[in-house]
Amino acid sequence: MRNINLFVEDVAHEDFLTALIRRFAEEYNIEINFKASSVRGGRGTVLSELKQFVRDLQQNKEVLPDLVIVGTDSNCKGLMERENEINRVTTDISEIVINMIPDPHIERWFLLDSEAFKTVYGMGCAKPDYKCERDRYKKRLLNSIFHATKTPPIDGTERLEELVNAMDLQRIEQSDRSMGRFLTALNRQFRSW
């Protein structure tokens, strides 16, 4: 059994990661156990709770997991700036940390595979452009789901596990830099197990 701790900024990150890791675990035939932290409150809360977690590990108040995944949007600051912020906090546990940094927002990742979107919602979606604009991709996601289903979605994550399972991860890994970095690291980790 592999223990995985998630430090993510919101429910969309948690739902995406949970679905993706379950898919990897099934493909690699590995049993996993999740513990999620900071699923609300944004990047600041994630980093604050992550700092406390690292301190607790150093004081033996926490059990060292097999993997820690830190998920926060780049929010147009860029992958490297966000990665450096996380790495400063996780220096002492860097060998078990993978950063998931959607650039610029997680909802953009949900729109990367039009065929998967069509499989789940009955109609494909337009490939997302790249613009740094708050809530741009959340609105596009909700509009795409509504356009396909004629039913207003709650937050766009209602069928996220189905969407993740339908995604062509190899193609996405090569077509989107931020997701490619994350999928490469996750594949490497699961192969090592």
Residues 128-185 pLDDT 10s: 998 888 899 999 999 999 999 999 888 889 999 999 999 999 999 999 999 999 999 9
Q: For the chain, what is the domain count? A: 1
Q: What is the CATH number of the domain that holds 18?
A: 3.40.50
Confirm whether pTM is higher than 0.75: yes
Task: Give the domain extent around 94.
Answer: 2-192
Nearest CA to 121 out of 109, 135, 110 is that of: 110
Question: For tokens 């379950």, what's the residue?
Answer: 22
Q: Give CA–CA dist 166/40, Å, rounded.
A: 27
Q: Give CA–CA dist 51/56, Å, rounded.
A: 9
What single letter denotes the amino acid at residue 33?
N
Nearest CA to 112 out of 34, 182, 7, 22 is that of: 182
Nearest CA to 103 out of 70, 127, 80 is that of: 80
Encode pLDDT of 1-48 as tens digits: 999 999 999 999 999 999 999 999 999 999 999 998 766 777 888 899
* CA quadruple 137, 141, 147, 153: dihedral sign: negative
Contact 33, 42 (CB under 8 A): no
